A and B are shown apart, each in its own frame.
Chain A
Amino acid sequence: MIETEHESLLESIHGVLKTVTDPEIDSVSVLDLGMVENVEVEGSSAKVSVLPTFTGCPALDIIQRDIVNAVIEVEGVDEVEVSFLSNPIWTTDRITELGKSQLKEFGIAPPPANHNPGEPWEIPCPYCGSVFTTMENLFGPTACRCILYCKSCKNPFEAMKPVANIGDE
């Protein structure tokens, strides 16, 4: 009985985490961005461990606050602690398939799969799917994005920078 209560509490927390989004990309939840590493519940206190995307991302404090505000609303939770972990590191392959399609809706091309750091990558336009695109700026409006231009449909668009774990030198 107690076991099931615990599980349903965890499930409810996961449910509300689907409503917490990155304030700078508000179409994707922190779960689908792959930022949530772990959720633990002990009695009525919840612990959520989160992986920061980019170190200097100013949205991190807001995300932390929004997670607390969302989880505290779950029935059976009286206390919420959100901590940022430095290990493991967040990489773009943690973004779920749903997250990738939601990024596209927002006009952001999802990061390429299996990209080797340092090598050029092919980024299809999120609007028309063409790969006839050019990189305008490796940097963009937020730390995790870059700016491109589609030569097929003539739209500027953004892409998520690929972030992969790098091996030893």
Chain B
Amino acid sequence: MTQDKALVELLYSLADDDFILAYRGSEWLGLAPHIEEDVAYSSINQDMMGHATRLYRILEELGEGKADEISHLRKPEQFRNAILLEERNGEGTYLEKPDFDWAFAVVRNYFYTVHKKIRMESLRKSSYEPLKDTALKVSIELQYHLMHWDMWFKQLMTSTDEAKRRMTSAIERCWIEMNGVLSLGPMADEMTSKGYVASEEDMREKWLTHMKKTFEEINAPFPKRLAMSKGNGRQGEHTEDLKTALQTLSEVYETNPTAGW
């Protein structure tokens, strides 16, 4: 198998996005606003972790090492996820005084899931067969995730003044980091010219169109320019939040990497 750097980088960014956001979601377990949401959100996180696993297995087949090691033993700078997806859920931890921000959870997941849908639609036409198969399978499960976050987003945005205020501040926060999610990273041109995935510009346009429709529907002012403020995760730039998340995630695995869990 010839090592294709652009393909490997793309697979890492796809897998790491799902992996870290599923982890952040799992920290909400038992803390979601109500029990039905706990069931739904944990189901979504389980699906997303499954998507990440599948992508890590493709990387394993490409000679990147064992899937478990890829997910648990890499250093933060080797991760390719967008910074928005690694950020803490709020103050405290899930074990100690969690003061998590539900509006941030809803907005981050909604923005991400809309983009993931667009990205999967493009990957279903990928020139790389394993990615094409994966994208079809993921797309089917993703429909349910999108229905879920779409409902939360629109309901909270048309709810009480407090809900609107909290949602608006979460939107502002996600908007100025969203370009990191939409970015394909330094090898974007090669990924697109080799037919692995649609161009960054094309997918950004589709995402913006989808968002404009949503904001019009709920009569909310459309935010201004998208940005990427804290750095580009696609080139290994990350925050302290990723470092602590990975430490927690790998704590048990690292005690005995040969054990089967």
Contact yes or no, B39 A55, CB < 8 A: no
With contacts A86-B134, A139-B148, A165-B136 taken as known, whether A55 is within 8 angstroms of B54 at the C-beta atoms is yes
B127 on interface, CB distance cutoff 8 Å: no
B24 on interface, CB distance cutoff 8 Å: no
Taking CB as reference atom, which chain A residue is nearest B58?
A86
List the A side residues contacting B147 at CB < 8 Å: 138
CA distance A54 to B43 in the complex (A): 11
Contact yes or no, A138 B144, CB < 8 A: yes
Contact yes or no, B36 A137, CB < 8 A: yes
B51 on interface, CB distance cutoff 8 Å: yes
B108 on interface, CB distance cutoff 8 Å: no
Taking CB as reference atom, which chain A residue is nearest B22?
A56
Contact yes or no, A55 B138, CB < 8 A: yes
Q: Mark A73-116, 1 if CB is under 8 A from B, else 0.
A: 00000000000001101000000000000000000000000000
A150 on interface, CB distance cutoff 8 Å: no
Category for how many chain B residues contact A? 20 to 34
Total inter-chain residue pairs, C-beta < 8 Å = 69
Q: Give the interface SS of chain A, mostly helix, strand, loop or mixed.
A: loop
Contact yes or no, A139 B144, CB < 8 A: yes
The B85-126 residues at the A interface (CB cut-off 8 A) are 121, 124
With contacts A86-B134, A139-B40, A143-B43 taken as known, whether A166 is within 8 angstroms of B51 at the C-beta atoms is no
List the B side residues contacting A168 at CB < 8 Å: 124
Contact yes or no, B53 A56, CB < 8 A: yes
B78 on interface, CB distance cutoff 8 Å: no
Sample (18) of A-B pairs whose CB atoms are under 8 Å apart: A54-B50, A55-B53, A55-B54, A56-B48, A56-B49, A57-B50, A58-B46, A87-B133, A89-B137, A117-B140, A137-B39, A140-B43, A142-B43, A143-B50, A147-B36, A165-B140, A166-B143, A168-B124
Chain A residues within CB distance 8 Å of chain B: 54-58, 86-87, 89, 117-118, 136-143, 147, 161, 163-166, 168-169
